[in-house]
Structure 1
Amino acid sequence: MISRKTFLKSVAGAAAVAGLGGGVAEAAAGGPRRLRGGVAYDTGVLHAAGDPLSRVRWSRRQVKQEIRVVAEGLRCPSITAFGSEIGRLAETTAAALGHGMEVYVQPRLYDHPQGEVLEHLAESARQAERLRDGDDVKFVAGCEHLLFTPGIVPGATFQERIANLGTIPPGEWPKIMERLTDFLARAADVARRNFRGRITYASLGGAEQVDWTLFDIVGIDYYPYFATDAEYTKDLAQYRKWDKPVTVLEFGACTFTGAAQAGGMGWNIVDRDQDPPRIKPGHVRDEREQADHIVRLLRVFGAAGIQGAHVYTFIAPGLPHHPSRPEYDYDMASYGLVKTLRERHHDEESPYRFEPKRSFVAMARHNRGQAGIFTEPARETGQ
């Protein structure tokens, strides 16, 4: 599979060929500020028709427990609620609004025909509008359509499309970008007709050249790695040229040594050809690297004038931690701030409990603006 780094490099070059690049704006004036981080919250994504949602277990009690920890334990000012089932998105949004948080509602429907994706966006937007009170709910018109929506890049599934990226001739990229631009225009129109609040889009960093005049907020999924803060600041400046608020809808790292540099491909350390799947040899669990990376980027985002940032993700029940068998410690491949421990490790329908990782503690301290003692929340049990 092509790496995300290779992908971003190839698409950036193609965008230049297509003449879609833009200028660079200055960083925000007024000096650094502390940006309180939010989280992305996975409600379950539907891949192919007939498949189960990626998050199998779900209950209203469970959602309320987890959102309470996000609000009271992490002190998050906002969340990105993403998923395929509109009822779950509504439950999560209502729970977060009940704690005074701002919500970015982001429907996702992978590998479905474009017409179905747009219909799903429309119904999701209508539901989000019913819950909106002023500016407390924003609507996200999908996620990384270049990869997840058919008809833009060749391939029937997003895995096929990612694999095909490295084989696309440079001359084809302007046509791909034109198809992306056309679909985003239709997605923005659907959002506007069904949602009266502010809208944005979860773009694939600098790889998707988006016409941000279609949206009210510049939204990015941000996974590049730079050795210095100055390099991050320079890279982030490209999103400010539109003179609109910039929100990072996803960023973070998995839980192993080297995960910060692996960025958006950190999940790929699981060998799923084996039964049961195993962590690939050579990877070592490292909660500190994940924690340090998240806090560092929150500091960088604040200094760069980013409006909001959401750590991907609060919890990943499909990647449980195994305390004694590293080869089955799927939490190493998780971006979650908490680790899940299942009663039956390899059973996706098993009840689980979750515990804070170092990243949870570090982010909670950052959001409180303190470096002192942090009292961990009580352990929670998913029902």
Structure 2
Amino acid sequence: MRDTARSTTGSSRRRFLTTAAALGAAGALTAADRSVATPMSAPTGAQRRGVRYRGVCYTVGPGETPATAFSAARMRADLRAIRHDLHANSIKVTGDGVHRLTATAQEAAERGLYVRAEPTLGDRPQPEILDHLAEVGRHAEQLRRQGAKIELSVGCEFYLFVPGIIPGDNAVERIENLISGNVDLQQMQRRLDRFTARAAAVGRSVFHGPLSYAAAQDDQVDWELFDIVGIDYYSHHPRRQDYVRELRRYQRIGKPLAIAEFGTCAYKGAPDSAGMGWNVIDYTKQPPELTKPLVRSERTQAQYVTELFDVFDAMNLHAAMAFEFVTPEAPHWPGDPRHDLDMATYALVKTIRDTPGDPASDWHWEPKLAYHALAQRYARSSRVNTDR
């Protein structure tokens, strides 16, 4: 595990994003807003077919080293690639830092992307998290009034990242308490419900477009608080119909369904981990290394993400956001499988340092097979839905 002092915000988000699935554990809208926020019936004839908003998660944060710190120039270059090479028509802008989030959301909106703004300030006092949400929501409302297509997600998997719902000073300790059973699940649910309602109220108070939340698959959420159901989805089933059956229960809620995250890692067997594929890196060693021998397989990742997207497309979902675009802190190390941390990321592109093993080294990214595979799917869907 990483040092717990650094196990917050974006980096902890990447490490613990799917634990819930593995454990099993109201403002007025404008007429234009209601076209997004109301339930969608099955399309017929000339109506829309496929996923409406096809995109990728883009995490902003302070970075763990100067080399991985947020860069506006790099962000703009990434968004160009997302829009024109990946053929995405949407993006989930997530992470922390009001300036980083709002600058990225504005740049994405100016490029014609539909924006899901999802602030995820973690391991901070609850009032601070809500203030951070309110500030991002105000900026999102300004973009909406300027004509941007944007929705606000009040956050993701609160029980994991918000103190006071589960015992623990940080995400690492909360995970350990969950795994060990040191959690009163009924009390956890009551606290989760209270904070979710508070977050929804804050979101409504500052933002008047569609409101959403990103829940783990087995979370119990009062979806009456939101316009769009958001699910972080990391299931792996042998049969296509198993995905459909699982997703139908969310559609029965009667609101648009957004897959807020989906993906897997780039090694053989990763999809079988049910979303825990990241848990194979020993961060106590320098440089960090994989805890067991793995066989790199970009094809495995590509097959999984396209299989899921085809299911989402056939079900005409509101949105599907692949997790994630890039993970700078976990680089690909060509020729050294033990230190090829990229294998254990969900990123569609691989980070390559100019000097392997040097965390201060500059870096660039190169597309993985999953990037090219999704680009083909997104481009094809764009041709079918020329109005998107």
Same fold by TM (over 0.5)? yes
- After superposition, where does 1:206-221 map in structure 2 within 5 Å? 206=218, 208-221=219-232
- DSSP-derived class of the 1:203 partner: strand
Q: CA deviation at 1:169?
A: 6.8
Whole-angstrom CA distance in 2 between matches of 1:121 and 1:289 = 36
- After superposition, where does 1:226-245 map in structure 2 within 5 Å? 226-245=237-256
Aligned match of 1:162: 175
* Residue-by-residue CA offset, 1:10-67 (whole Å, 9 max, x unaligned): 545xxxxxxxxxxxx9x95759944363100011268xxxxx5898322221111100
* Residue-by-residue CA offset, 1:162-183 (whole Å, 9 max, x unaligned): 111133378x322211110110
- After superposition, where does 1:39-50 map in structure 2 within 5 Å? 39-44=56-61
Superposition CA RMSD, Å: 2.7
Aligned partner letter, 1:150? P
**Contact 1:125–1:139 under 8 Å retained in 2:** yes
Match of 2:137 among 117, 125, 133: 125
- After superposition, where does 1:339-350 map in structure 2 within 5 Å? 339-350=350-361
Question: Per the alignment, do residues 276 and 53 of structure 1 end up closer, same or farther by CA in structure 2, a change over 3 Å counting?
Answer: closer
**Contact 1:43–1:55 under 8 Å retained in 2:** no
* Residue-by-residue CA offset, 1:58-99 (whole Å, 9 max, x unaligned): 222111110000000011010000011111111211221122
Aligned partner letter, 2:186? P
Aligned partner letter, 1:175? Q
Regions of 4+ moved over 6 Å: 3-6
Aligned partner letter, 2:56? V
* Residue-by-residue CA offset, 1:193-245 (whole Å, 9 max, x unaligned): 11111110011122x10000001100111111111111100100111122110
- After superposition, where does 1:5-24 map in structure 2 within 5 Å? 8=21, 11-12=24-25
- DSSP-derived class of the 1:268 partner: coil
Aligned match of 2:378: 367
- DSSP-derived class of the 2:117 partner: strand
Aligned match of 1:140: 153
Question: Per the alignment, do residues 114 and 239 of structure 1 end up closer, same or farther by CA in structure 2, a change over 3 Å counting?
Answer: same
**Contact 1:134–1:197 under 8 Å retained in 2:** no
TM-score by length of 1: 0.85
Aligned match of 2:317: 306
- The count of corresponding residues between Structure 1 and Structure 2 is 351
**Contact 2:293–2:338 under 8 Å retained in 1:** no
Q: Does 1:65 align with 2:77?
A: yes
**Contact 2:227–2:255 under 8 Å retained in 1:** yes
Whole-angstrom CA distance in 1 between matches of 2:185 and 2:290 = 35
Aligned match of 1:192: 204
State the identity as a percent: 38
Question: Per the alignment, do residues 305 and 84 of structure 1 end up closer, same or farther by CA in structure 2, a change over 3 Å counting?
Answer: same
Whole-angstrom CA distance in 2 between matches of 1:235 and 1:212 = 17
- DSSP-derived class of the 2:370 partner: helix
Whole-angstrom CA distance in 2 between matches of 1:117 and 1:310 = 23
- DSSP-derived class of the 1:235 partner: helix
Whole-angstrom CA distance in 1 between matches of 2:198 and 2:278 = 31
Q: Does 1:266 align with 2:285?
A: no
Question: Per the alignment, do residues 38 and 7 of structure 1 end up closer, same or farther by CA in structure 2, a change over 3 Å counting?
Answer: closer
Whole-angstrom CA distance in 2 between matches of 1:54 and 1:215 = 38
